[in-house]
Chains A and B, each alone.
Chain A
Amino acid sequence: MKEIITLLVNILIFPGFIFLLALGMGFHWIDRKLIARFEGRIGPPWYQPLADIIKLFAKEDVLPTGTNEIFALLLPLTSFAVTLTAGYHMVGTLSGLFTSFVGDFIMVIFLLSLPSLLFFLGGWTTSGVYSILGGNRSLLQYFSYEVLFIMAICGTAIASGSWSLGGIFLAQNEGSPFIKYQVVGFLMSLAGLIGKLKRSPYDIPKAKSEMVMGPLTEYSGRKLAMWKLADFLQTLAGVALIVYCYFGGLWQPNTIFGYLIFLLLMILLQFVLSIISAVFTRLRIDQLIDLNWRLFIPISLLQNILIIVL
């Protein structure tokens, strides 16, 4: 009985549902506030993301006729669910709540790459000109930047010699954080993350002035709220993964100090992401793909080869 209650508390409150949502919204708020300050504006108050989600849940939910309603509901729900699971696992491993098993690194990466695919499928389901065109672009971007992210972050797994998050952490704990030797890999996985999250300068699929809202054009109400929540959580989990894999040994697990350092590193990374968003223009799809395959992938390939050899 006690286990069931503990399990429910874990899933629903910490480090589950409520905690993850709160943290995800908090990071989204940091992003918006930072970008606003860079642009010379004041920015929204801290409760803005929460207010947005509540408002979206209260709105009417319309879809174009002919859309497969079941899919249109399942896709955002699944997106939300997988990002929640990824976040839950990350936080759980971090707090020592459950031990990480071999292969959970791959599992987290897989869970974090699903939302992009579901994003494209979401556009395909509610077929409309903007949705399909935006979906095509997002698929192109997905193929390119997922590969980059996986390649870059696998560098850490290769260097640590294990496919589990715990193993990666231990390797950094004993040695030094991977950031010291794998700066290039860190930068590449950051670029990959920006592409996965469809943030500026890679926000072609969501570019308002080009594709209205891309694949999400026809969604409204609760479904749109779930897409947005999936987005927040994907950001959270992605940033947490990068911090975990590259800055591993800098904290002691399951201590208050450790949590604080982890949080600080995540906020720092969010800073970097926001600065990049505010400073660059949106790249065209061909410039994006070009940059990826001609520059980033060869660099991360080289990095991985070097890691294997040395």
Chain B
Amino acid sequence: MSKITIPIGPQHPLLKEPLSFRITLEGESVIESTLRLGYVHRGIEKLAQTRTYIKNITLFERVCGICSHIHTTTYCQAVEGLLDLKIPRRGAYIRMLLCELERIHSHLLWLGVLAKNIGLNTVFMYAWRDREIVLDLMEEISGGRVSHAINTIGGVRKDLTQTQIEKISLDLPVLYEKVRELLEIVENDRSFSARTRGIGYLSPQDVKRYCVVGPVARASGVDIDLRRDAPNACYAELDFNSVTMTDGDVWARAVVRIMETLESIGLSQQIVNKIPAGEIAVTAKRKVPEGEFVSRSEAPRGEVIYFVKSDGSQKPKRVKVRTPTLTALITLPAQLEGLQMADVSTVIAGVDLCIACADR
């Protein structure tokens, strides 16, 4: 059988962001694949060294479009740690609310992309239609659908009004019902299962060896969730479950993500019910004392880690960002081996890709 190399990307209808795969096929099965990142590399880490701490918030929001809020949250936590600031509880609750809403929106987006890639256009349309509810809520709270600009060093910039809280409490149950329907489709639909079960299996040992994080790890049975294990910003006061499954294939990842969405809807409701009164921010000094800080948090795709080093001036000496997509990309060549050509698109979509995050 002759070998043939197919390029997927950098431009391909399957990919939302540029990424280059070279897949070598023999007959119908994949024998090898290589991956090339860097098409959206913007040199953000180097750029962050030339801007002040406050201006860097705007920069880090634009690392990714889908998980922009968690990036600024983690960065602000790092800088607040260096300044030894404790943000007021109301500010922390507002941050958490947007984190959870962003998680919902990211998972629904991903479900649509997976469904489109396996040919189930109807689920794509339904998931993105339900996502509009979340985007409208986020626009109510922060003024922007995907780019919120609500974090600042010391807290948040905008407060939640009572009308907003009431609107959130009205919309969340509606969203819950719709996501429940999507969960039923994902769990029970025969054609969905036929395309996603058994595809792209990762064993728990592989997950640990490749240091995979997020829903991909939880779908293989490795229970790591930073909201529970290293809670930041008042997550310790809230009550939720982290979802794990043991199947380890694309189907399990879909179920894990949808069930996490349901948990996040419950969390958002708790946040809105329990939000304390008070200030939303404390003022922060411009000059940050010397030191280093490592800050971690749980983005929709897994663990985001920020390392900020300060040398006593107004600009950071070094900021290092590691996003969770990079951990999943390492496993892709291993997952793709032995699969058929038609499953390649399922696997690539099943690992929630956010190349802008990975490239920075």
Contacts and interface: CB of A to CB of B under 8 A. Distances in A.
Direct contact of A and B (CB under 8 A): yes
B341 interface: yes
B342 interface: yes
B118 A204 contact: no
A283 B340 contact: no
A280 B343 CA distance: 17
Contact of B340 (A38, A130, A284): A284
Interface stretch (B91-99, B120-128, B233-241): B120-128
B128 to A, nearest CB: 9
Interface string A122-162: 00000001100100000000000000000000000000000
B6 interface: yes
Interface string B118-157: 1111101110010000000000000000000000000000
A10 B13 CA distance: 43
Contact of A283 (B13, B126, B191, B341): B191
A200 interface: yes
Interface stretch (A13-21, A205-213, A258-266): A205-213
A301 to B, nearest CB: 25
Nearest to A41: B125
A282 interface: yes
B194 interface: yes
B117 interface: yes
Interface string A182-211: 000000000000000000110110011110
B194 A129 contact: no
B65 interface: no
Contact of B14 (A129, A210, A279, A285): A210
Greatest chain B CB density within 10 A among A129, A130, A133, A210 is at A210
B345 interface: yes
B189 to A, nearest CB: 8
B45 to A, nearest CB: 33
Contacts of B192: 281
B322 interface: no
Nearest to B189: A281
B6 A209 contact: no
Contact of A209 (B13, B126, B340): B13
On chain A, which size bracket covers the interface?
A: 20 to 34
Interface string B1-36: 000111100001110000000000000100000000
Contacts, number: 73
Contact of B13 (A39, A208, A279): A208
A278 interface: yes
A207 B341 CA distance: 12
A286 interface: yes
B353 to A, nearest CB: 13
Given A40-B126, A203-B119, A278-B122, A209 B7 contact: no
Contacts of A41: 125
Interface in A201-242: 201, 203-204, 207-210, 212
> What size tier do the contact residues of chain B reach?
20 to 34
A38 B122 contact: yes
A97 B158 CA distance: 75
B116 interface: yes
B228 interface: no
Nearest to A210: B345
B12 A133 contact: no
Contacts of B129: 40
A283 to B, nearest CB: 7
Q: Which of A201, A208, A281 has its CB near the most chain B CB atoms (within 10 A)?
A: A281
Given A41-B125, A129-B4, A200 B119 contact: yes
B4 A209 contact: no
Nearest to B199: A284
Contact of A201 (B13, B125, B191, B341): B191
Nearest to A285: B342
B119 A281 contact: yes
A71 B236 CA distance: 69
Contacts of A40: 125-126, 129
A287 interface: yes
Interface in B75-121: 115-121
Contacts of B194: 281, 283-284, 287
A39 B6 contact: no
A284 B191 CA distance: 10
B195 interface: yes
A213 B345 CA distance: 15
A283 B120 CA distance: 10
B117 A209 contact: yes
A209 B9 CA distance: 11
A39 B120 CA distance: 10
Contacts of B7: 129
Contacts of B4: 129, 133
B125 A39 contact: yes
A281 B125 contact: no
A287 B343 CA distance: 12
Contact of B122 (A209, A279, A283, A285): A279
Contacts of B343: 284
B126 A39 contact: yes
Interface in A10-42: 35, 38-41
20 contacts: A129-B4, A130-B6, A133-B341, A200-B121, A209-B13, A209-B14, A209-B117, A209-B118, A278-B122, A279-B122, A280-B120, A281-B120, A281-B191, A281-B192, A284-B194, A284-B195, A284-B343, A285-B340, A285-B342, A286-B28
Given A39-B121, A39-B124, A209-B117, 8 more contacts: A35-B121, A39-B126, A200-B119, A201-B119, A201-B191, A209-B14, A284-B340, A287-B194
